Structure 1
Amino acid sequence: MSDALARLLSLLSLLQTPRLWPGSELAQRLGVSGRTVRRDIDRLRELGYPVHAEQGGLGGYRLMAGTAMPPLLLEDDEAVAVAIGLCTAATQAVAGADEAAVRALRKLLQVLPPRLRRRVETLTSSTVTHPFALAVDPVNPDALIVTAAAIANHERLRFRYRDEDRHVEPRALVTAGRRWYLLAFDLDRDDWRTFRLDRVTRLAATGARAVTREVPGGDVAAFVASRTMQMAPTFPADVVIHAPAAHLVDRFGGSPPGTLTDRPDGTCRWLAPPDTGEWHARRLASIGLPFEVSGPAELTAHLSSIAALFQAATAESGAGQGRDR
């Protein structure tokens, strides 16, 4: 990389920090003259970066949002996807990832055209996150944008869901892993309903004003979690883990739900609160330690069915390798 190109990239990196940069400070940071800074600013402008100059003793340079994305960055839909991804990453419990995501998001929003920035802000301001489930069902981005806009604008929605037409007043989007839920007041059923957004089709805003309603209990995420949990049977779990309780806490990165009790033989007893069989299985698999299920029978049956699937898969793989030999 030439010195001139490296300096131009360094200048662009400085300008992406949202503030007014005096020319003298830029020159000092880059180790060049003020004339060189002015020439490099002109080169950035030629490349499409909207660098605004303010004159006077308190003047300087500032990178502004333009009418289009600057060259060599992202397409509009890619920029929105990255911004939404950064908003999600900023809420994750990964050391350093949240702060880095916030910094990156601030730089990206600074140069996004206003029409794209509004789309990002509309979606993120209408979304609540809770760690209920991990899912991989794809959701149409346009459905997210239309729904989020309707929530922000207090506008009613019509759509098709499970072969039925629905007319609702949307309240919030709730994420659970990669699955999206719409919490809305169903006007035909006169009650709150939760809809999986990947199953929604023919979605359209009606233009009619939606009434502002308070969610029962006041907590959107908790309400959606309780409604979703009602769709699958739940039960507690009584499990003996072949390791001390401290090891289990280390594997989870904190105390797991329920209670842990050390036993004289070096194992521990985990009494987990009611949850779905899928969630119990995921938690037990994630710790990577031997265990025995003391109850209930529903959990034993669920784990047995999962074990049979894995055993069949590995048996078929082994048979295939034998045929290859």
Structure 2
Amino acid sequence: MPTTAADIARRLADDAEAVCRRYLSNGRREGHYWMVGDVHNNRGRSLYVRLSGQGDGLRQPGKWTDASSGDHGDLLDIISASCGHARFRDTLDEARRFLSLSPEEQAPRNPAPRKSKAGTAEAARRLWAASKPLQGTLARAYLAGRAIADLRDDAWLRFHPHCFYRPSDEDDPLVRRAWPALIAAVTDDAGRVMGVHRTWLDPASCDKAPVAYPRRAMGHLLGHGVRFGSAGAVMAAGEGIETMQSLKQVSPLLPMVAGLSAAHLGALEFPEQLRRLYVARDDDPAGTAALAALRDRAAPLGIEVFGLEPARGDFNADLVTLGRERMGASLRSQFQPGDRHLLQ
């Protein structure tokens, strides 16, 4: 049985998902991360815990970051906050009790069905290869319904007509296990597929499927994103695919990348040639934290970071309600003078 705090933390990290399922039960697994609202087990997606990795600092299993507050720590911190401990000794005792459980007792009561290598980059590449181009599909119609008509940089977007959906505890027990889906490839700067993002769709409404979580990602996501155009000296980044595609409608020549969540947006890797980054952030604490994280990381590299604010709460709402011309006009003052030619 481990005795020191460091030993206990290492043992917990070896079974990080079991720890999360017990102490952060309101969260869920997404690829190599456990996503939840905060260390107190509230629902949400601000806090992410790495479930697997290489054990080298940022990629160490069991490490977590809260994109909303900027807090970070290990699984002992999770246990302490979840149990409301006032003394570190109580946290260590609770962790020892957890680690003494048999494998059967540690396992989740309703484990998610798994195939070999599920959730890995390899599984993501298989799904990407099984998908087809957008033209003439429900995914194309879904984007058009959100006023996203110009898809000149859609190389990393595809459609799958029958994509598996794993129900969560919040879904109806009779929910369908497969839906059509918009598939987006998550790539590194060299164009290698590291993961995929799925948006499940409802053929009856041409909108998102009526499931608890119509968007999910899998694979190696940290540092990577869904890319629209080749990297350049000036780029834009944001959270969602629809957010960045909406911005693309008024600035088609500007390379862009979607990080898929505030936490991953703040951790995006910078291309070597990048000198100025516009961040289409969501107007919430997580979006504010992501912008701050990007600025802190970019400053030592000589990269300028500028925030872009939507007029109607988010950029797709701007596109739908304002139209391209008025949306472009609302952004003009937020672009640097030398970049305004990028706006239509």
* Coarse TM-score class (shorter-chain normalised): under 0.3
TM-score normalised by structure 2 residue count = 0.22
Which structure carries more helix by proportion?
Answer: 1
TM-score normalised by structure 1 residue count = 0.23
**Greater relative contact order, per chain length (Cα 8 Å cut-off, separation 6+):** 2
